[in-house]
Structure 1
């Protein structure tokens, strides 16, 4: 081929590349992951903690750590407070995409995609009135109290299933907030309030009733909390979040985040 023919072929290739380039850019943008929509769960400290006008906490740190591992993943909405029941309903309906820090149970297993990597572990304790000398060390002892052993627990929480499965306990889950249940406890409408550590101490402080209640030392349960995704979320997004969480776990960063908020 002569020089003029070579130049002609070269310019044809350049022209073709110019036409292809916008399509390549467009395809690349189309392949970007959509934002992962979440919300801050009310009454869930230290998962989500109000610090002035900012929402911080264990789960917010986990979101930022995932984004650092995989910059294509972006969590949005963690500065908006919603109750747990609404968050679960919106995630199941495709209006939110992920929930940080829930206990596995049969209903959630059928409603969400649960990622395998544990986020953190919590222990459950009883809160009682400070002037109540009770010091139960087992659920069997609570059963023996019968009607004098009513257990208050937040409605909709994973702890409800645990108590129901234990059997023959007097459970009141009519209140959905921790503050409401502490008020009920002080009013004598229950003997015990079942809640988790970390979180219980901060909820007592927030209620303004320090000195009026005390935490029994016995641990009655320990539960692993997980990240749960809506059934509608793209498979690639699910795989990328799962991969990022796996790396954070291997590096010990999830443990470090949990320890940061353990005394809250």
Structure 2
């Protein structure tokens, strides 16, 4: 349970790391680059030294992160996109942490251009567009009648693209760029020329988190937004 020592103004908040999302959390990466969301978390602790996060030894997949938040078993989680379904289950701090862009990745020798979701929908009738399993961005494709195939990771999607089992990956620019660099096969892939949508990532909070605690978190994030820390952290991972 959330513990609040009024005299010392110490607040302990339960959280977790998201597994298989190395841009957000990279426990095997260098200490100076542990993942963008982990760095935002530590920046919040520095901005308000009375705030502490526990549970970071746990690495859980996105679907379990959502379940833990919805059931109130974690108090806060860095970072999640908003969606109507998610907003029915938990709250969000209003301060955007960083922005992701919806883009496509193609094989480098694919000369086609896709400027609209309608064009993606037409192409998906031959081969489904790959999207990461469990991500909130998939709903944009489904709503636009794009036929999708969900995969477990960006790495798996790039492998399928290489083998010709798919022609297009739709996802977050920052994640796809990281995995393309990691494969050391930059010459095999290219980004499409269109940004289909931009969306901010937020701090998600359990539905019944005390308002006073939410306010402290929000004030810490506003401080980091104002002094440029959030922007600087995001730039390090692009």
TM-score tier, shorter chain, comes to 0.7 to 0.9
Query: Could you tell which deviates more after superposition, 213-222 or 116-125?
Result: 213-222
- Which range moved further: 195-204 or 137-146? 137-146
Conservation of the 8 A alpha-carbon contact between 1:114 and 1:227:
yes
Q: Report the Cα distance in structure 2 between the residues aligned to 1:260 and 1:122, rounded to whole angstroms.
A: 14
Q: Number of aligned pairs? A: 233
Pair 1:242–1:48, CA change in 2 (3 A):
same
* 1:143 is aligned to 2:90: no
Match of 1:126 in 2: 104
Tell me, what secondary structure is at the counterpart of 1:247?
helix
How big is the shift at 1:128? 1.5
- Per-residue deviation at 1:101? 2.0
Could you say what the CA RMSD is over the residues aligned between the two structures, in angstroms? 2.3
Q: Distance in 1 between matches of 2:229 and 2:97?
A: 10
TM-score (norm 1): 0.79
Contact 1:45 1:203 in 2 (8 A): no
Change (3 A) 1:70 1:140: same
Structure 1 equivalent of residue 216 of structure 2 = 240
Structure-2 residue corresponding to 1:196 = 172
1:41 maps onto 2:18 in alignment:
yes
Maintained 8 Å contact 1:249/1:255? yes
Shift of 1:227: 0.7
Contact 2:18 2:62 in 1 (8 A): yes
Correspondence for 2:92 among 110, 114, 129: 114
C-alpha contact 2:122 2:146 (8 A) present in aligned 1: no
Of the three residues 168, 173, 188, the one matched with 2:145 is 168
Q: Which has the larger radius of gyration?
A: 1
Q: Decide which structure has greater helix share.
A: 1
Greater strand share, structure number: 2
Q: TM-score, normalised by structure 2?
A: 0.87
SS at match of 1:107: helix
User: Residue 206 of structure 2 corresponds to which residue in structure 1?
Assistant: 230
Which residue does 2:158 correspond to in 1? Answer: 182
CA contact (8 A) 1:37 1:98 kept: yes
Q: Gapped runs of 5+ residues in structure 1?
A: 1-25
Unaligned runs of 5+ in 2: none
Structure 2 CA distance for aligned equivalents of residues 161 and 207 of structure 1? 28
Aligned partners of 2:183 and 2:56: how far apart in 1?
23
